Amino acid sequence: MVKPLKLGIIGAGNISKSHLEAARRTGAAVPVAICDPLLDRANQRQNEYGIQEVYADYHDMLAKSDIEAVVVCPPNHLHHVVTIDALRAGKHVLCEKPMSFRADWAQSMVDEAKKSGKILQVGMVSRYQPTVQWLRRQVAEGSLGWVYFARAQYVRRSGIPGWGSWFTRKDMAGGGPLIDIGVHRLDLAWYLMGCPKPVSVFGVTFAALGPSKQGLGTWGTPEWDGYYDVEDFSAALIKFADGSAISLEAVWAGYTDPSSALHLIGNKQGAQLIDDKVKIMTQVDKHDMDTMVSMPKNSLESGFSGQMMAFRNAVRGEAPCPAPGEQGLEVTKMLAGIYESAQKGASVAL
Ligand SMILES: NC(=O)c1ccc[n+]([C@@H]2O[C@H](COP(=O)([O-])OP(=O)(O)OC[C@H]3O[C@@H](n4cnc5c(N)ncnc54)[C@H](O)[C@@H]3O)[C@@H](O)[C@H]2O)c1
């Protein structure tokens, strides 16, 4: 059996629970320490998961605790500083998405990981679904032919998280749905296509409902004395060096049907990810033919559990890191480019 990680958690908010549950379910890590400037939150997690050490300041935790790895899950604007501090303290890092919202910050994280020789894994949790792993193999083996286009959507009807909190502040979140949920869909489409080199992006963003407090969802805690200065709707076209492209829609709120569609269109076959199924589309004798392939829904290898096991295996040298910082950097460049394009009203070269 691979030895579990002695783990620290930085940021005891909502998503810390998913990581702690994953550690408990898989046994891949033993949470030893947790920190949050809001000590009540850290204490609550301590009680729920029997964590030995609680800190208000992550610097203290990094200096004093015997942990070998950390999960970085504070608000987005802190991901790069906290990750760099943790790597410098000799800890391996699993950093929540988005890795960062600035390419220069993401680059400095990658540089530090290289210097330290520690693992920097990015929290691209969707990669661990059995359907995704299966489809990735199909693409890599050429079953779909050349995948020249992907349509990726993460569209909510009313799903603005924590109005007025860090989620809707540009200085802390870096943006709205594009950076919050678009990052998952973009990463997934790009990963399934084999991570082609991005060359240019064209993006548009809108803030049609959020500023007037419409389209609110249930994630996060609203802060009504806060403010909203991010988009609530974004769309983009990303072009790659091999001529392929991804169209992306990331929407927190809009008067349209919700969608989490992900289509890959190849010159032999097409594929659509539908939760625990993959639909393969082709033609036989000039007739359209669709085949549904089913996968186990919640295996131990999927989602946060799969991510935690993969992190442990990468740290222990049992397997390569499946979502390395270098790939997070490429995704960050695409996201930052889309915002720049939306602001300029013109395409941006990457
Ligand atoms: N993978 C996913 O699907 C997923 C889902 C939700 C959130 N996230 C990501 O996780 C991160 C946290 O999101 P959340 O929903 O848990 O937010 P949250 O607001 O519930 O929690 C963030 C926590 O970080 C704490 N914090 C602030 N400054 C800190 C510091 N200097 N050191 C330690 N902790 C600090 C806050 O006090 C808060 O408790 C975000 O980056 C978000 O994008 C990922």
Q: Which tens digits make up the pLDDT trace of 148-175? A: 999 999 999 999 999 999 999 999 999 9
CB 121 within 8 A of CB 113: no
Question: What's 4's DSSP letter?
Answer: P
Ligand 1 close to Cβ of residue 188 (< 6 A): no
How far apart, in whole angstroms, are the C-alpha atoms of residue 305 and residue 165?
28
Whole-number Å distance, alpha carbon 321 to ligand 1 midpoint, is 23
The closest residue, in CA terms, to atom 27 on ligand 1 is 74
CATH architecture entry for 127-296+331-349: 2-Layer Sandwich (3.30)
Buried residues in 187-205 as b, exposed as e (16+ CB within 10 A):
bbbbbbbeebebebbbbeb
Ligand 1 close to Cβ of residue 14 (< 6 A): yes
Whole-number Å distance, alpha carbon 274 to ligand 1 midpoint, is 28
Whole-number Å distance, alpha carbon 85 to ligand 1 midpoint, is 17
CB 191 within 8 A of CB 198: no
Residue 98 preceded by cis peptide, ω within 30? yes
Ligand 1 close to Cβ of residue 15 (< 6 A): yes
Under DSSP, is residue 106 helix (H, G, I), strand (E, B) or coil?
helix
How many C-beta neighbours within 10 Å does residue 256 have? Answer: 12
Determine the atom of ligand 1 nearest the C-alpha atom of 162. 19
Start-end ranges of CATH 3.30.360.10 in the chain? 127-296+331-349
Q: Outline where 206-277 has alpha helix (H).
A: none
CB 10 within 8 A of CB 82: yes
Mean pLDDT value across residues 322-340: 98
CATH fit for domain 5-126+303-324, picks 3.30.930.10, 3.40.50.720, 3.40.50.11540, 3.40.50.2000: 3.40.50.720
Start-end ranges of CATH 3.40.50.720 in the chain? 5-126+303-324
Q: Which tens digits make up the pLDDT trace of 180-237? A: 999 999 999 999 999 999 999 999 999 999 999 999 999 899 999 999 999 999 999 9
